[in-house]
Amino acid sequence: MRRPNHTTNPRQGQKAFSLGLLASLIVASAGCTGLATFMHVAGVDMVPAEYDGLKNSTVAIVTLTESSQYSNDVTSRELSRFVGQIITTEVKNVQLIREDKIDQWRDINGWDQVNFDEIGTGVGAEKVIGIEVANLRLREGATLYRGRSDVVVNVIDVETGNIEYSRTLEEFTYPNIAGQYTSETTESKFRKLYLRMLSEEIGRSFHRYDLTDRIAGDSQIAHY
């Protein structure tokens, strides 16, 4: 039987060496920009999710503010909605409990009810993302919009009542630098912008993301 020939062709070896050398020279000549581009294409600069247990689950999002114990205030409603949009886009096979179903349960059982696993049981959820927002303020002085709040995010397993994930955002501030003058926008528009940026930060707990997205956050204020 004739044995296979494993002898390397000198020309092939020379070609492979030349290609490797060329690739090295391209990266070296491009410097940090070339390296960053390579890392981005390869996915090396993607930050993994801190918690990936929402997959294949029925999820209720419940946001509590200092006003939501009386009714479904605009801040809690908008933040829940923004976080829900991110979850359904970025996390596979998640079924969200409808907002009106959660509101109906709280209408019957009282808006001061803050037991997340009981709410989850009442609306048929497997997991609850409980978001508590405190000390929300949208202004810095009389003429400048700049948002701040203290936020706690918990993921509760409804069947066991256990907290599977918890994160605290103290003094979440947007924008980080300067602010937006009150003559340039309205409080309603700025509140939406602030809550959208807050929802993106909350959402990053549950999906992988590009680190540059967080760094570039302040630039989005130009579009509002």
- Extents of the domains making up the chain: 54-134+153-170+187-210
> So what's the pLDDT on residue 118?
95
Confidence of residue 11 (pLDDT cuts 50, 70, 90): very low
Cα-flanking dihedrals φ and ψ of residue 138, to 5°?
-105, -10
| CA–CA distance, 91 with 207 (Å, rounded to integer) | 7
Secondary-structure percent of the chain, ordered helix, strand, coil, rounded to 5: 45, 25, 30
Tokens of 167: 């994160």
More confident position, 29 or 100:
100
Give the E-state strand segments of 158-223 in sequence order: 163-174, 180-181, 209-210
Using DSSP's 3-state secondary structure scheme, residue 224 falls into coil
Interstrand relation of 95-96 and 144-157 (parallel, antiparallel or unpaired): unpaired
Q: Are 194 and 174 in contact (CB under 8 A)?
A: yes
> So what's the pLDDT on residue 220?
59
Tens digits of per-residue pLDDT, 121-163? 999 999 999 999 999 999 999 999 999 999 999 999 999 999 9
More confident position, 12 or 166:
166
Confidence of residue 216 (pLDDT cuts 50, 70, 90): low
Tens digits of per-residue pLDDT, 57-97? 999 999 999 887 777 789 999 999 999 999 999 999 999 99
CATH number for domain 54-134+153-170+187-210, candidates 3.30.70, 3.30.1360, 2.30.42, 3.40.50: 3.40.50
| CA–CA distance, 36 with 27 (Å, rounded to integer) | 10
| pTM for this model (two decimals) | 0.77
**Bridge partners, residue 166, by sequence:** 154
Q: Are 222 and 106 in contact (CB under 8 A)?
A: no
Q: Are 129 and 58 in contact (CB under 8 A)?
A: no
